[in-house]
Amino acid sequence: MKMGSKSVVINPEFPVNRMLFHRGEKHHACWDDLHIRMIVLEAEGHRPWYHVSIDSVEIWLDVRNRIKQAIEETVGREIDIVVSATHSHNCPCMTTDYAWIDFVIDKIKANVGTIEMTEYQEVTYSYQYRYFNKIGDSREADLKHKAVHLYAETLSLYGDGERRITFLIHNCHPTILALWESDFTSEYPGYCIRKLSEAHPGEFFTFLLGPAGDISPHFVRKNKEYEEIARLGDILTAEFERQLSHQENREPVNAFRYREQMIKVEKGNPVTMGTAYLPPAERLTKQEKETLEQRYLNPRRFHERQLEPMEITDESMFSQLILNENYSIIFEPHELYSEFYGAVNKQTTTLATISNGFDHYVTGMYLNHITMHTFSEFGPQMKRDMWELLGKWSLQEDADF
């Protein structure tokens, strides 16, 4: 099996839109480096599998398809690919700034052909996870009901006995800083990657966001300054280090496979005003309060921006990378609430969101009150279809493809 990786700095070289072009502002300066992080895995008899992670809030399916085409044209062969966003909110906008999208794709094209592939006689992996609520908590939790599904995870790939590549996974929104007021930053995902790369030279680190729709640092952070990224980032880095130090038991990558499936998008609120109740006021953020007030009192104000063509979707892409019968990663595009971890076997499955596109929030299966996310919600049938597919794939049913 062959593996390769490369990281490319993508700090803006011209003024670009902030996330969702908020207030029409453009910005240029960065507090830390923004990156594209590329991984290539190639098993005999399979197309090479690429994972491209971009410091961005979102990567729409149309942009993912453009990236796939650009890589195939550059390397001269068909590939499988997952494109993921770190979901760091203080990043340039991959929705409204088409010049920035072109810049990022050009960076990928200029660098993907230079990824050095190394063939290994033995490839193994170590998967670790642990409950972790030190840098964020659920807006659904309260003093009596703690968040159930909060995890820090590491997936490390070893080539011939040496750790080569590690996916860092956590399900908390990268929103420590105040939105739209700071220089661009990769937030805590980039901070943890930088610290671990310094501590483990020669190893490659990247990031996946777990189901974090309801998980926010709002309930944990002390302030919204850059120093708080470092404080909370150090806490998470220490947990990742703890997991990296317990990787004695590794399993072989001996059933490498990849598959994709589209699910029809069904829009519509699963909660009605007549049966829902509001969360406790102390659990509502300022943004939630404003959103709820606008929705109740003046629904016409709720959508303040005309959607870009790429945002109008009728299908969502789910995909699965299988390493062996005991472990796989399922990639999907939504901001799932953490309850969706309940659909999979956590011992054998990583659930990575904001991948294969971007399709907004999906609240929990058993949500019975209104949140700010209810109004960008999908319908109940789609949620059931998603839950069933995640469970089926987690068990690797029908995996002989």
Note the pLDDT tens digit of each residue in 371-401.
Answer: 656 555 566 778 888 999 999 999 997 777 5
Report the first-to-last Cα separation within the chain, whole angstroms.
19
Q: Residue 274: which residues within 8 A CB-CB, separation 6 or more? A: none
Q: How many CB atoms lie within 10 A of CB 93?
A: 22
CB-based contact 218:283 (threshold 8 Å): no
By three-state DSSP, how is residue 186 classified?
coil
Mean pLDDT of the 41-55 span: 97
Q: Which of 81, 25, 16 is nearest to 53 (CA)?
A: 81
pLDDT at 270: 42
Instruction: Tell me the pLDDT of the chain averaged across its residues.
Output: 88
Residue 194 has pLDDT above 90, yes or no: yes
Q: Which of 146, 175, 169 is nearest to 285 (CA)?
A: 175
Mind listing the pLDDT tens digit for each residue in 143-160? 455 667 999 999 999 999
CB-based contact 137:216 (threshold 8 Å): yes
Q: Which of 182, 189, 180 is nearest to 7 (CA)?
A: 189
Please tell me the distance from the alpha carbon of residue 58 to that of residue 84, in angstroms, as a whole number: 8
pLDDT at 291: 61
Mean pLDDT of the 86-113 span: 96
Residue 302 has pLDDT above 50, yes or no: no
CB-based contact 174:34 (threshold 8 Å): no
Tokens (6 digits) for 229 = 């990224």
CA distances from 353 to 51, 58, 59, 225 (A): 13, 10, 11, 26
Tokens (6 digits) for 14 = 């011209």
pLDDT at 47: 97
Residue 181 has pLDDT above 70, yes or no: yes
Question: 361-371 burial, b for 16+ CB within 10 Å, e for fewer?
Answer: bbbbbebeebb
Residue 309 has pLDDT above 70, yes or no: yes
261 φ, ψ (degrees, to nearest 5):
-150, 140
The overall pTM is greater than 0.85 = yes
Q: Residue 140: which residues within 8 A CB-CB, separation 6 or more? A: 147, 214, 279, 337, 339, 364, 367, 371
pLDDT at 274: 39
Residue 290 has pLDDT above 90, yes or no: no
Q: How is the chain split into domains, by residue range?
A: 2-254, 258-339+351-394
Mind listing the pLDDT tens digit for each residue in 254-279? 999 999 999 887 765 444 443 444 55
CB-based contact 183:225 (threshold 8 Å): no
Residue 335 has pLDDT above 60, yes or no: yes
State percent of the chain over pLDDT 70.
Answer: 83
